[in-house]
Amino acid sequence: MEALAPQAFVAAVLVGYLVFLRATAGKGVEASVEVGPPSLATPPPVNSLVANGPASSATHLVAGGRLFGAFVLAARVGETCLIADEAKRPAFAVATVAALASLALWVAGDATFSRILLGTHSRQHEQLSKGNDAVALAKAAHAVGTALVVAGSISGTSYAELATSLPFAVLGLVAVQCAIILFRALTVYDDSSQIASGNVAAAVSYAGLTIAVSIVVADAVDGDFTTWKEALSDFGKSLAPALAIFPVRQLFVQGLLLGKRPTLRGGYLDEAVGGDRAVGVAALEAASYIGAALFTAALP
């Protein structure tokens, strides 16, 4: 029975995360009912995960990203904060604090990311109620990316170790947002307006970039703490692989795979995603981002 204690604890943490997400799903999201025949009316409020209609489709996308994040965080808490051989009562207490802290950081980071790109919560709810899958996909990417960064930083079997890991979660989230802003400044179209207008291709591209940068940052914040000076230095050096994402996009995807002339800014990719709304091209771009991030994160 003692051997099952850590697994049971992680399962309980996961269930707690899911209950929290279910309780907060669709809060304040109300479907707008258009004037006209009943058959043309928008479906009922989208706080039900089993409802049908475009509004619920968007909600399901967001829920999928949050579900993925819940699994990532719960597994991380069990892996780094609750060692089976040391699963004593103090360790469970530390792991409980880690679970609550990671949930708070995840929710705060997710909300901040979405607000920067998509505007106020009421505006986001309005877009979701209209079935804007582009907004939903961006929000799902925020949930996944934030969870990866927070999970990469959370560690420690004592309160002292846990306390040193929390600032790196915040630092990592700031680094992700700064990197995304810099990269998206290289495109000629505005991600925020494109996604708000329902451009799924722009959302796919943005989602791939968000998750890719989060993978790199999560790898950067994951490590043993020595001193603040050394830890911050290692963190900065570990962010360097993120710079590889841009040449992969311009040279490998736009040049080699699509056979177009590589450009420093703009070019065929921007025209296809921002103008033609080509989801296939955007998926290729997003895959290149994530693939490059996984490749660089795996390097010694």
Confidence of residue 276 (pLDDT cuts 50, 70, 90): very high
- Expressed as residue numbers, the domain containing 79 is 2-298
Of 168, 134, 164, residue with least CA distance to 149: 168
Read off the pLDDT of each residue in 176-203 and give the average, rounded to a whole number. Answer: 90
Using CA atoms, how far residue 124 sits from 118, 119, 121, 214, in Å, is 6, 7, 5, 22
d(CA 224, CA 231): 8
Predicted pLDDT at 165: 83
pLDDT grade for 8, boundaries at 50, 70 and 90:
confident
Residue 272 CB: number of other CB atoms within 10 A? 22
287 vs 293: CA distance, rounded Å: 10
The stretch 227-248 carries a mean pLDDT of: 71
- Give whole-number Cα distances, 258 to 142, 230, 238, 261, 280, in Å: 28, 42, 30, 9, 12
Q: How many domains does the chain have?
A: 1
Average pLDDT, the chain: 81
Provide φ and ψ at 42, rounded to 5°.
Answer: -70, 145
| Amino acid type, 106 | W
Query: Between vectors from CA 108 to CA 102 and to CA 114, what angle results, nearest 5°?
Result: 130
Compute the C-alpha angle 108/199/248, nearest 5°.
80
With pLDDT > 70 as the criterion, what percentage of the chain qualifies? Answer: 80
75-104 mean pLDDT: 76
Over 60: is that where the pLDDT of 127 sits? Answer: yes
- The more confidently predicted of residues 163 and 244 is 163
- State the number of CA atoms in the 13 A half-sphere of 187 facing the CB: 26
- pTM, rounded to two decimals: 0.84
| Token pair 């929710």 in the structure block, residue | 107
User: For residues 232 and 178, which has the higher predicted lDDT (pLDDT)?
Assistant: 178
Q: What is the pLDDT of residue 200?
A: 96
List of E strands, the chain: none
pLDDT band at 90 (very low <50, low <70, confident <90, very high): low
Dump pLDDT digits (tens) for 11-48: 889 999 999 988 887 554 443 333 344 444 444 444 44
